[in-house]
Structure 1
Amino acid sequence: MNKQSAAVGIWILAAGLIILLGKLGVFSFIGSVFWPILILIVGILLHVLFFGGIVPAVMLVPAGILTGSSLLLMVGNWFGWRSMRYIWPLYLLAIAVGLYEYFVFGISRDRALWNAAMGLGALSLLLFAITLLWTWGIYLLAVVLIGFGIWLVMQRPRRRRR
């Protein structure tokens, strides 16, 4: 057997394996589970390109947004999309992170940029807290009422001294 026919045989074997894995749903599963990692890779690549001196500092804004959003998309994809009803305000936090990175590593230290980043971050965390209280608040209220009731029952009446 010569080298050329061995190489052709390896290519035919690889093609057959790829077709078989595709028909078994391996690539579909990998694509449906790990697609947010592609967005994460783009965000990290933009960070690397900035710190390597290839792209300007303004590229940190989409880099921070893509990196933060991909992490939230991973949570939704891996733990169920119903979790988005709790973590949706954190997308604003991803924008705030991108703006903050641009403020820290950019050339100009514009105070408006810092204010926008802090304002969006605070709004994001406030909306996240409101969302958690809105959805889990009734349980918190129930626990507080139970605790207060136990405290009232356990408290002994004080005697008056004459």
Structure 2
Amino acid sequence: MIKNQYSTGIVILLAGVVILLGKLGVFSFIGSVFWPLFVLIPGVLLHVLYFGRLLPAAVLIPGGMLSVYALLFLFCNVFGWDNMKYLWPFFIFGIAVGLYEYHLFDLSRPRTAFTVAAATAIIAAVCLAFVLLWSWGIYLIAIALVVTGGWMMIGRRARW
């Protein structure tokens, strides 16, 4: 009877602590900051299951994609979601990572997977370059004009 009372006391105590932590906002804070782990954990789990020889290499495609997306979400959680306007090409890059892992670790080394992964990575890089040039391009043009004008002025004086 005492043992049963002790176990019931532990359950009631834990229920009270959980309710108290919930009312203090601990769980909402943890959920708002660490929710990308719910995307990362399945990605890592798929890798573990493949390398544990429990699943075929095809699971590395979604595993790689989920891992890249979770890291992107973690970055945006820490540094702000306004960065997504620059980082959206990483969604395309996630596909390239998954396909490249599949090509790398599948025994048949499918050439198509490598070709599509390379093409997708190039598309992601081009999109990222356009995004950065579109947002920062005017600054690069201004700097290039200042440097060119300064070089032309200094170059002329050195010749006299």
TM-score, with length taken from structure 1: 0.91
Query: Which residue pairs with 1:100 in the alignment?
Result: 100
Query: Which residue pairs with 2:56 in the alignment?
Result: 56
User: Once the 2 structures are TM-superposed, how far is the Cα of residue 112 of structure 1 from its aligned partner?
Assistant: 1.7
User: Once the 2 structures are TM-superposed, how far is the Cα of residue 69 of structure 1 from its aligned partner?
Assistant: 0.9
Query: Which residue pairs with 2:17 in the alignment?
Result: 17
Quick one: distance in 2 between partners of 1:143 and 1:4? 76
Query: Which residue pairs with 1:31 in the alignment?
Result: 31
Query: Which residue pairs with 2:45 in the alignment?
Result: 45
Aligned residue for 1:108, secondary structure, equals: coil
Aligned residue for 2:93, secondary structure, equals: helix
Cα deviations by residue, 1:58-113 (Å, 9 ceiling, x for unpaired): 11111011111111111222221111110101111110110011111113222222
Quick one: distance in 1 between partners of 2:38 and 2:72? 13
Structure 1 segment 1-162 matched on structure 2, within 5 A: 2-155=2-155, 156-159=157-160
Cα deviations by residue, 1:34-73 (Å, 9 ceiling, x for unpaired): 1111111110110010000000111111101111111111
- Structure number with higher helix proportion: 2
Aligned residue for 2:36, secondary structure, equals: helix
Aligned residue for 1:135, secondary structure, equals: helix
Quick one: distance in 1 between partners of 2:22 and 2:150? 61
| Percent of paired sites with the same residue | 50
TM-score, with length taken from structure 2: 0.92
User: Once the 2 structures are TM-superposed, how far is the Cα of residue 141 of structure 1 from its aligned partner?
Assistant: 1.2
Quick one: distance in 2 between partners of 1:112 and 1:7? 59
User: Once the 2 structures are TM-superposed, how far is the Cα of residue 157 of structure 1 from its aligned partner?
Assistant: 4.3
Deviates more, 1:1-10 or 1:71-80: 1-10
Task: Output the aligned Cα RMSD.
Answer: 1.6
**Count of aligned residue pairs for this structure pair:** 159
Could you tell me which amino acid in structure 2 is paired with residue 51 of structure 1? F
Deviates more, 1:103-112 or 1:82-91: 103-112
Aligned residue for 2:113, secondary structure, equals: helix
User: Once the 2 structures are TM-superposed, how far is the Cα of residue 140 of structure 1 from its aligned partner?
Assistant: 1.2
Could you tell me which amino acid in structure 2 is paired with residue 12 of structure 1? I
Runs of 4+ in 1 over 4 A off after TM superposition: none
